[in-house]
Amino acid sequence: MDPIQNGHIIIISKKHYLDIRDIPENELLDLINLEKKLITILEDNFNLLGVSVLQNNGKTMDQGTHFHIHLVPRYSNDYFWENHEVEKIQFDLDLLKRKLKK
């Protein structure tokens, strides 16, 4: 469904979870192990630079969407990052640093 690159894979949990924080540890471990297996298959068998791993959480998810992970194969000169422009929003780095220290 709308792959952004040839070889683009989506890993979707069988149960409905809104974001990664909702997934029980044992199921999360299964998803991460599947992610590792698929990345290994892609990187060991295809002429890739690597794989970008993308996921959304919380309110960025479309209504009714299950938690999912995108594995996007990266190729030389694919211009992946050059095609993404976002509006920069103010962010309190000091607050983040304080929260990370806890």
| 16, 68, 70, 84: the active-site residue | 68
Region of residue 79 (phi > 0: left; psi between -120 and 50: alpha; otherwise: beta)? left
- 68 in active site: yes
CA angle 23, 17, 53 (to 5 degrees): 75
> CB atoms < 10 A from the CB of 71, how many?
20
Enumerate the active-site residues.
68
